[in-house]
Chain A
Amino acid sequence: MTKIDHVLDASPDVSTREELESAVVRFAGDSGDGMQLTGGQFTQATALAGNDLATFPDFPAEIRAPVGTTFGVSSFQINFGANRIMTSGDDFDVLIAMNPAALKVEMSRLKKGGLLIVDTGTFNDRNLAKAGFEVNPLEDGTVDGFNVVALDVSGMTQEAVKEFDVSKKEALRCKNMWALGFVYWLFGRARKTTQDWLQVKFASKPDIASANIAALNAGHAMAETAEMPNGIHGFHIAAAEISPGLYRTVTGAEALAWGLAKGAELADLDMLFASYPITPASPLLHLLAKMQHLGITTFQAEDEIAAVCAAIGGSYAGSLGVTSSSGPGIALKGEAIGLGLVTELPLIIVNSQRGGPSTGLPTKTEQSDLYQAVYGRNGDSPLVVLSTRSASDCFEVGIEAVRLATKYMTPVMLLTDGYIANAAEPWKIPDLKGYEPFPVKFHKDPEGFHPFLRDDKTLARVWAKPGTPDLLHRIGGIERSYDTGHISYDADNHQKMTDVRRDKINGIANDIPAQTVELGPTSGRICVVGWGSTYGPINRAVDDLLKMGKDVAHIHLRHIWPMPANLGELLAGYEYVLVPEMNDGQLITVLRAEYLIDAHGLNKVSGQPFKIAEIEDAILAVLEG
């Protein structure tokens, strides 16, 4: 075994490189080609280089789809730049296609004149046929519009690792690192973090570690020294102006796990997190399962219903009950959420939305569960609905969910989505000491006690937990008497309890920040109203148009229900309200119903995020129409 020394990259000579504002790179290959890991490494190196960035992992629902097929293509996209990056990017500047299927699936979104890197070692008859190419697209003019770098990556990887004790299969598995090394050189990235990471990852298999590092270095050397066709050269993207502080990359699932943990700490509660595996929500369960020394208990229940019921049981017993799922699982939890609502217990339900209805598109992103969150239960059953706009936003929203659930003794639905949960972005690590605690005070006083005693101001009921002397009581799903907490079938009482449940939730509108305008004027021609992960494309589109002097503003909602108290008045100040959503028009219905405004939808359910251009075009169509 030969020891490979780390290669330390000298700062690239910027003068020989083409200066770019930003770039979109997409790594695409077979499910088994390690594209997500490759993308993750490139993200890390790019963050360290000081660029702002956003990523989009896009992978198939099948764990190992048949090799070489179009439906087995797994891709990772990153947009990075010298300015603020708001989205994972529209069309790509660089596409790395590790096989014919990846080329087939992705090439339509490579910019004209974009850089196409292909592994010719995989372009054999068998793979071409699997991808549905009758003729090799590298030879029939299909890729003529691109700047093509056709290299036998497979062959050169095998050559690069031959001195190590690895099988042919293991050698070929290093080709993603070869490609990564090549792209590292293109953008002047340092290899050290990836080399370190490989050493740790394969600590028990030093030959594999060395082979991967050798492949990485070989790809890098190829780019640096080889005579490349079409005058292809390196690029330079200056570091972005980023607010000072300590940074890391974070996914939405990570930020949410930490936010919920921080919220529970601020509430002075232990957390019971009960969940059932479902794509794309499971990472939250995995992350919290590793945090069980922090007052968190995780429980993988037998099904979605048991998960929410266990969480409610946990809240009943004095913990913070949290459950998590995606749309189909949330549907199963509906009845139990209603119980949490009428027994007025704190409960957080996280919905990592995916394409629906039914099984839908498990790994594709969508925001089509807003109706389900706001209205999706039997009876008049209001609860709090919050949404997250980005990975880092999940931290703050997690804390806010705990605050509202415990202060108002209510279930809170927290809407995130598969894109936010899995995408990584740079995050300025917050100072945890800067958060005001909101400790729960359990009821202890037997004087005049019944379980539905309410706070005059918040209308929240008292939280009396089992184990407390002299507060014995029974609660359940049958309507309770407002005055005693006992079962009541009285008609007037049901009206009163329905009213108080509604008023309690509506009152929260006065305990949340007033709605602000993200960008643009506070009244005027057009307002673009969004929620959730459409934040990036809307913000960038509005920013671009403001720079062009257009009269347009961006409002983004975190609080879906109840909505901020000033929202109606704010929206009334614009002539035209445009609501882009990755659904068939859900928030727009709520806005119309609440404020009687003539809002207009821009809707997309293709499983892909909005492109900035799509939103810009929609705004321009109104302005010019």
Chain B
Amino acid sequence: MNELTPKRTAKDFATDQEVRWCPGCGDYAILRAVQKTLADIDAEPENTVFVSGIGCAARFPYYVETYGFHTIHGRAPAFATGIKLANPELDVWVVGGDGDMLSIGGNHLMHVIRRNVDVQILLFNNEIYGLTKGQASPTSRAGTRSPSTPMGSVDSPVSACGYALGSGARFVARGVDTQQKYLPTILKRAYEHRGASFIEILQNCIVYNDGVFDDITAKPVAADRQVLCEHGKPLVFGANSDKGLRLDPDTLLIEVIEVGEDGPEAAGVLVHNETNHVIAAMLAAMDDDHLPVAVGVIYCNPGDSYGDGVAAMKAAAHKKSDGISLDELMHQGHTWTVD
């Protein structure tokens, strides 16, 4: 019967609820990309669950025609872990913002990643608290002026991808809300990855932090300020693909070089190997003016998922228990009869 069922479209993954983000919010674009991805992968709506914490991004589940659980601030990864433990067959997506996942929920993000729970984690990073009206967030750049930091913030920001890698992530990617063509590609890769898949999506908050990524994403600068990481391909960028990344053999740091006429290989440009953790950490960390920002799949190195481990542990428990029932368990040890 399956072949007779018409394949769903992105629209089939839209709910009847009015979307209540601010007009022009980057979340709309991400929602479109996710709905398209769900159609592309032929997701089964009844076996798909979107779980979120609190914040603008966390309203996401209300707009996706699947199962959804809008939980409490920062804790979505813990709920998602419980859902997967109860029913490993469900496809679970976790959605949250930078405050939700890296501030109040930073602990849970670390643990869902290091356990390698088989979920997709979408972190919408707009470098600001939106729903509470514009306070500095843990990803806000130093000096950010906000209602809570009128003199400019004094905290150093955390790198979302760096945090994920440091927590033991086996899949780390970065995308941009407006890249409608490429974002579904990353989301599909995340879906296919078995284990925790972490995707940072740079997202513009039009009200409280408008244009914060313009230096990376604006059309005139985008080609020079972003490098797309594709496994097996040289890390080149620039409007004419004329620049590349090279590992300086003396400092063991990444540097930008001109590709030159003989091509990237001759120039010694790094070929992206998404299984290389050391290079991935360097790519994820690139955020100053001299180096482009890495987008695409920065690291992917699959291993056993948490679900695999739990299943093996339970199988071992069954074997060890020798099928003892609760009744038998209650009769184990010393018992005595009173006549």
Contact = CB atoms under 8 A, between A and B. Distances in A.
A471 interface: yes
A5 interface: no
A473 B83 contact: no
Given A429-B335, A474-B15, A310 B72 contact: no
Contact of A293 (B66, B77, B86, B317): B317
Interface stretch (B140-148, B155-163, B323-331): B323-331
Contacts of A358: none
A468 interface: yes
A244 interface: yes
A169 to B, nearest CB: 30
B179 interface: no
B90 A248 contact: no
A274 B82 contact: yes
A297 B81 CA distance: 12
Given A313-B86, A475-B70, A306 B314 contact: no
Chain A at the B interface: SS class:
mixed
A549 interface: no
A336 B75 contact: yes
Interface in B302-333: 310, 313-314, 317-318, 320-321, 323-327, 329-331, 333
A218 B36 CA distance: 80
Given A243-B338, A317-B90, A466-B46, A474 B68 contact: yes
Contacts of A274: 82
Contacts of B79: 309-310, 312-313, 316
A474 B61 contact: yes
Interface residues of B, number: 59
A315 B336 CA distance: 39
B7 to A, nearest CB: 17
B69 A476 contact: yes
Interface stretch (A44-52, A59-67, A129-137, A348-356): A44-52
Given A299-B85, A466-B90, A475-B68, A242 B338 contact: yes
Contact of B17 (A248, A306, A475, A486): A486
Contact of A313 (B47, B78, B329): B78
Given A317-B86, A475-B68, A467 B46 contact: yes
Contact of A262 (B54, B321, B326): B326
A247 B331 CA distance: 9
B300 interface: no
A237 interface: no
A514 interface: no
B82 A321 contact: yes
Nearest to B319: A293
Contacts of B335: 246-248, 429
A291 B329 contact: yes
B46 A471 contact: yes
29 contacts: A244-B339, A245-B338, A248-B330, A248-B335, A258-B330, A293-B324, A302-B78, A302-B110, A306-B75, A306-B78, A309-B72, A309-B78, A310-B81, A310-B82, A312-B71, A314-B85, A316-B69, A316-B86, A319-B85, A321-B86, A336-B72, A465-B87, A466-B46, A466-B48, A466-B87, A471-B46, A474-B61, A474-B70, A475-B69
Which 8 pairs, one residue from A and one from B, show the smallest C-beta to C-beta distance? Answer: A313-B82, A476-B70, A310-B82, A474-B68, A309-B78, A317-B86, A306-B78, A313-B79
Given A339-B71, A475-B68, 9 more contacts: A258-B330, A272-B82, A294-B321, A305-B75, A312-B82, A319-B85, A472-B67, A476-B69, A477-B70
